[in-house]
Amino acid sequence: MSLGGALATAFVRIKIDSSQIAADTSRSVREGAAEGGAEGAGENAGEKFSSGFNKAFKVAAIGALTIAAIGAASVKIG
């Protein structure tokens, strides 16, 4: 057997069906998320972030109004 014949025997062609891989990956991600409770954890994290952001916004608004009131009072005094 020549060297060329040995190489030809070892050559393999692989065809990948990317649509099947994408479907399998999506299914696996959904199954993993359902088993691990990732959806619930994500919702809880979103709610906590939203709640924290709303609180921070209220504190900032109160701070801005306080500064505006102090500024107005200082203009009246001056």
* Each residue's pLDDT tens digit, 15-39: 777 777 778 888 877 777 666 666 6
| Nearest by Cα to 77 from 24, 69, 59 | 69
pLDDT tier at 14, thresholds 50, 70, 90 = low
Is residue 45 one of the residues assigned to a domain?
yes
| Domain containing residue 22 | 9-77
pLDDT at 45: 77
Is residue 3 one of the residues assigned to a domain?
no
pLDDT at 75: 78
Is the predicted pLDDT of residue 11 greater than 70, yes or no? no
Q: What is the rounded distance in angstroms from the CA atom of residue 44 to the CA atom of residue 50? A: 10
Q: How many domains does the chain have?
A: 1
Between 9 and 35, residue with greater pLDDT: 35
Is residue 4 one of the residues assigned to a domain?
no
